[in-house]
Chain A
């Protein structure tokens, strides 16, 4: 039975901001959508409403950083880099301002369709010099994201989960430290964000079918220390499967591909995620199934890497379902 935590960001941000007077809360007309409405109402002196004007907000935040403040910008992930990309580069990333970009509704966690779904954000952010990229995969990581982000000497982009979030882990994010969730020796599965929960589901069925799974969860996507990952890659017989809530270009699948190619590991890699496609509006379970981001897709990926049929069906995965994880979660509203 997995605990579901309601609005972990709301409490985490308030606690962190109140302990750090140079932290400012910036919002672009998505205040309640980013769970900072209570903070706005109770701590207006630390809150800046900048309206639907992300280009100005980004450069303005750069100016606040120049004045020694550490602004946390809250909006949907897409709005942090698509429209204000130029400002992100010139006003925040280049000068290494301590601006914390809190990107809500990563990937297909929103029914808002193409305009709201940040499906290439990690690719964009990974390619920006000076940028740090973090992603939350459970309630504990959301609870520790503010402190983790604020420890970075420079700008940081965070994929943040909102609403009702499962608690999978019991220790906070340690920047740069991946989570080793299983240490088998047949196949390495690498996940981040909401796909880790899917992998936990798939793992139970895979292990039932006799597959020894090594499973790593990434919360720090950039910077990335390849050495530890190489040890894990070297520890499995068949190869690597990545599953990401993102296009398969430029995200963690590409990250693994780069590490494996750079070091000549010679092992197979199957990258799962959005395959060079936009998504559309719909519920999270529907979109994860439709676009192959779920446990079923992951099992198929493992079969490809192993070159063997595992005879695992939907029923096996349903049986392995982590109880109650989705029972209280409705489709994300705007």
Chain B
């Protein structure tokens, strides 16, 4: 970790708390959002951005530009949102957010570590904005499209192989979700990475055991992910996804000739225990009534140590 590149002096714990607070505030104002992803992922993304990743200074404006068109031969000004992670220089790490549905949480992380202005989150899911709901290539912090789940690790494996071939010291990282292991492509990718000895490839997987339809166990159980990764030729390390010291230790696991995948056991309620009332449908929490919204506002604010959000409630709420 290059401390000189830190753009803030927050502790990683503070960054994680900040991520939860920002996503909470956003969800309250917009009558819903990806709250559970913030709960499960906050420490992992905070650790990556605040400690583990070696990234250069952002190359794109702190306040994101509007949508600038899709890639085409007629759009020479096109660029991805990767500049929020700094330049694609040989020495720096790269990060793909494989579950693009975590975009809201990833944007909140960029703000907390000083890579994007808070105004960026106000543009979330607004027409004409690049700060899209499902992170697109051109969204802040994104470099490739991952909204179709299961393709991120493959793309990263190809990039990592290419970077290794070119002698670049920077690593290629993927932020993964456990739901992706239902996609066969994930296993093709791990086998390919092992076969080609791609060991500059790292992933941390948010094992929150939730997916769109509900608990993974009820949708399609995936068994022991760690054992499967090892069987396919990768190195898997289990950690508590909210324990920074365990992540710090796990990344040091030897994995010569193999990709390293850190499996972060996490809770989709962490920091917002009242979300348990919405189990098992946690993928996108949309409040069912003004009463529920008000109750969540009060309870989650208390859990996060902030004041309830003013979202224009009518008097008496």
Contacts and interface: CB of A to CB of B under 8 A. Distances in A.
A311 B212 CA distance: 66
B155 A59 contact: yes
Contacts of B161: 48, 60, 63-64, 67
B151 A90 contact: yes
A153 B154 contact: no
Given A59-B151, A94-B137, A69 B162 contact: yes
Contact of B145 (A50, A57, A90, A153): A90
Interface in B102-158: 137, 143-148, 150-151, 154-158
B192 A62 contact: no
Given A51-B192, A56-B189, A153-B73, A64 B145 contact: no
Contacts of A153: 73
Contacts of A50: 192
B166 A67 contact: yes
Nearest to A153: B73
Given A64-B159, A66-B155, A95-B145, A56 B185 contact: yes
Contacts of A64: 158-159, 161-162
Nearest to A96: B71
Interface in A138-189: 153-154
B72 A55 contact: no
Contacts of B148: 86, 89-90
A61 interface: yes
Contacts, number: 112
Interface in B152-182: 154-163, 165-166
Interface in A16-66: 48-51, 53, 55-66
B223 interface: no
Nearest to A53: B188
Contact of A67 (B146, B159, B184): B159
B296 interface: no
A60 B163 contact: no
A94 B145 contact: yes
A60 B158 contact: yes
Nearest to B149: A86
A64 B155 CA distance: 8
Interface residues of B, number: 34
B155 A91 contact: yes
B290 to A, nearest CB: 39
B27 interface: no
B137 A63 contact: no
B63 interface: no
Contacts of A87: 151, 154, 185
A100 to B, nearest CB: 14
A60 B189 contact: yes
B144 A62 contact: yes
B70 interface: yes
B195 interface: yes
Nearest to B150: A55
Given A55-B188, A62-B155, A63-B157, A130 B72 contact: yes
B71 A59 contact: no
Contact of B154 (A91, A95, A129): A91
* B80, B159, B163, B191: most-surrounded residue (chain A CB, <10 A): B159
Contacts of B189: 56, 59-60
A234 interface: no
Contacts of B302: none
B196 A63 contact: no
Contacts of A129: 70, 72
B192 A63 contact: no
B273 to A, nearest CB: 36
B259 to A, nearest CB: 13
> Which 8 pairs from chain A and chain B are nearest by CB?
A63-B158, A67-B162, A59-B154, A56-B188, A53-B188, A60-B158, A63-B159, A63-B155
Interface of B: 70-73, 80, 137, 143-148, 150-151, 154-163, 165-166, 184-185, 188-189, 191-192, 195-196
19 contacts: A50-B192, A51-B188, A55-B184, A56-B188, A56-B191, A59-B155, A60-B189, A62-B154, A63-B157, A63-B159, A64-B158, A65-B158, A66-B143, A87-B151, A90-B146, A90-B148, A95-B145, A130-B71, A130-B72
